[in-house]
Structure 1
Amino acid sequence: MPSTPHEVQYLTIHSHRRAYVKVGEGPALLLLHGLGCDHTTWGPVIDDLAKRFTVIAPDLLGHGLSAKPRADYSVGGYANGVRDLLTVLGIDKVTVIGHSFGGGVAMQFAYQFPERTERVVLVASGGLGPEVSPAIRAITTPGFHQAMGLATLPGVRHLGVAGMKALSSLPLKGTHDLAEVADIYDSFKDPAARAAIRHVVRAVVDWKGQIVTMADRAYLTQAMPMCVVWGRDDRVIPVRHASLAAALAPKSRVEVIPNSGHFPHKDHPQRFARIVTDFVRTTQPATYSRARWRQLLRNGYVPPVGPVELLAEA
């Protein structure tokens, strides 16, 4: 796991250890990492964001320094887990920021707990369409656990990690994310981590692609500010899903960052921190109204009228 200058703290909730970083002061930001990652994926942006916000970046169950039990690894289960962590920390409301699989958890959190969600920021998020990298679909196949056990034997793993990190330094669009992929691959040496990731992926992906989608609930974002950030060169989840988000939630703000892959917060950390800071500064936090929520549910989805807002930073 990459080193981090941020102090990792621990809480035991429902008998399972939860690791997290909490720094800064001000309105709360909850940062949720992607599949196979941990809180260190946010390392390049935490300090900038902590100048204005209280930043909470947990290791989701089954990831990083958190416990990896045989447990509920559904999107809803993760949303419950971060709610309980926030409750113990005494934080009532957050702007929730989710990357990749963490974006799916962020959307589920906002859906389950609108009274605790002020805004949503989705970063190269899952849950917006079926397409996903074949490498992620492969995790659902029989024999993945055993094959990865062989692929992560010391000599093979060291060679693979070194090769991917060397390729990541090449100025090619297809190699943008290989350094991060190498860290994920290295984490698979832990059988408990492999088992947890397999359970996570099987809950949201099958051989056809992503199962869980926000399409049928996106209209609920009418009551909640949403920002979508994507790297133009994403090879894990295609950038066209950013346009899907804009179509599903026409009041959302969409930023597509050039020369960036699946980890725009790591490729361009200062730009990412600026996008988040500006989004929070220029939007009013959602105020939960049971009556309004009831009316939205009754009315259901209404197709957008007119063009959607799609922003690209030069």
Structure 2
Amino acid sequence: MTPDLPPEDWPHRAASRIVAARPHRWHVQVTGAGPDVLLLHGAGASSHSWARLVPDLTRRHRVIALDLPGHGWTRSPRGRARLADVARDIATLCAQEGWAPEVVIGHSAGGAVGLELARQGLITPRRIVVVNGALEDFRGAAGVLFPIMAKVLALNPFTGLLISQGSRSLSQVRSILASAGTELDEAALAPYARLIQRRAHVDGTLAMMAQWSLEDLNRALPGIGTPTLFLHGEKDGAVAVRVAERAVAAMPDARLVVLAGVGHLAHEEAPAEVAEQIAQFTAGAAAE
């Protein structure tokens, strides 16, 4: 295996590369051709989370999926996980690589990052899509972000590392995701089971959780004029639909589609439906 890269059987591994853009060594996957789309996963996940959506997106776009700071195979310094810093560092990476996203799609915490990019004017996409957006601060130990790492920490509070392997690990991940209203097959569960056995990934996720604050972003929502689509699974047990409803009400050009029968990982549970919603929403962006 190439140093710093995911294992050979990782989803879309052929598209993986490492890009140094201070202060991070980013793991990115770039595929397809056309207007740029930037994919931002949620806390506790990695770029693999988009694997089932990428084939559809690459029919019309160059798709850029990255691992957020400290997540997956992105190596990051400590203390660099605040929302504003994450957004600035992603913008630095995009500028260095010549990427100009016309569409930004973010899941959970990645949705907050996408909106923060627009809030600061760091990237000026024509459309933003927020999937099950985590747009509230933590409440208690579990919080409202993608809850895997908080629950892993509860299982093993001294190391923050899930030690179990194989089928037991898959079973634990399945149980954790079920609490977020999500049901995935074994192929989709496997990457999460591997991620939460990586100490660097666990530490990076906990660092994001520790530094996460959305007060400034929520106050600024009325000033974000980029047309924004919120997609939210009706069964989401991690982030309630009312969070998206409040955001849509605050923003000048936003709408919400509630997806029946799916939970927090709507884009993995119902990729075809999510892809169709995105295609309809972004169809006219390039012509504007």
User: TM-score normalized by structure 2?
Assistant: 0.82
Say if 2:52 and 2:268, in contact at 8 Å, map to a contact too. yes
Which residues in structure 2 correspond to 1:220-235 (within 5 Å)? 220-221=223-224, 223-235=225-237
RMSD: 3.3
Q: Deviations over 1:164-220 (max 9, x none)?
A: 4665999x9845369778754642333322222221101126xxxxx5463311112
Match of 1:254 in 2: 256
Corresponding position of 1:216: 219
Offset of residue 281 of structure 1: 1.0
Matches of 1:276 and 1:133, distance apart in 2: 33
In the alignment, is the contact (CA less than 8 A) between 1:27 and 1:94 conserved in 2? Answer: yes
Identify unmatched segments of 5+ residues in structure 1: 206-210, 287-314
* 1:1-314 mapped onto 2 (5 Å cutoff): 3-5=10-12, 6-14=14-22, 16-113=24-121, 116-127=124-135, 129-130=136-137, 135-136=142-143, 147=157, 149=159, 152-153=162-163, 156-158=164-166, 160-164=168-172, 174=181, 176=183, 183-184=191-192, 186-204=194-212, 211-212=214-215, 214-221=217-224, 223-283=225-285
Query: How many residues in Structure 1 have an aligned counterpart in Structure 2?
Result: 275
Q: Say if 1:186 and 1:225 are closer, same or farther in 2 by CA, change over 3 A.
A: same
Specify the SS of the correspondent of 1:147: coil
SS across alignment from 1:125: coil
TM-superposed CA distance for 1:246, in Å, is: 2.0
Structure 1 pair 158/214, CA: closer, same or farther in 2 (3 Å)? same
CA distance, structure 1, for counterparts of residue 155 and residue 77 of structure 2: 16
Q: Give the match's secondary structure for 2:63.
A: strand
Instruction: Tell me which structure has the larger Cα radius of gyration.
Output: 1
With the length of structure 1 as denominator, give the TM-score of the two structures: 0.76
> Whose helix proportion is higher, 1 or 2?
1
In 2, Cα distance between the equivalents of 1:115 and 1:169? 32
Q: What percentage of aligned pairs have identical amino acids?
A: 23
Give the whole-Å Cα distance in 1 for the aligned partners of 2:284 and 2:245: 22
**Contact 1:8–1:20, Cα closer than 8 Å, also in 2:** yes
Q: 2:31 touches 2:63 (CA, 8 Å); kept in 1?
A: yes
CA displacement at 1:15 relative to structure 2: 5.2
CA contact 2:181–2:262 (8 Å) conserved in 1: no
Q: What is the letter of the counterpart of residue 260 of structure 1?
A: V
Cα distance in structure 1, aligned partners of 2:286 and 2:239? 30
SS at match of 1:192: helix
* Counterpart code for 1:162: L
Which range moved further: 54-63 or 114-123? 114-123
**8 A Cα contact 1:69 1:192, kept in partner:** no
Q: What letter is aligned with 2:41?
A: H
> Residues 132 and 236 of structure 1 are in contact (CA less than 8 Å); yes or no, is this contact kept in structure 2?
no
Specify every segment of 5 or more residues in structure 2 that has no aligned partner in the other structure, as ranges.
Answer: 1-5
Amino acid in structure 1 at the alignment position of 2:11: T
CA distance in 2, matches of 1:219, 1:36: 29
Residue 116 of structure 1 and its aligned partner are, at CA, apart by 2.8
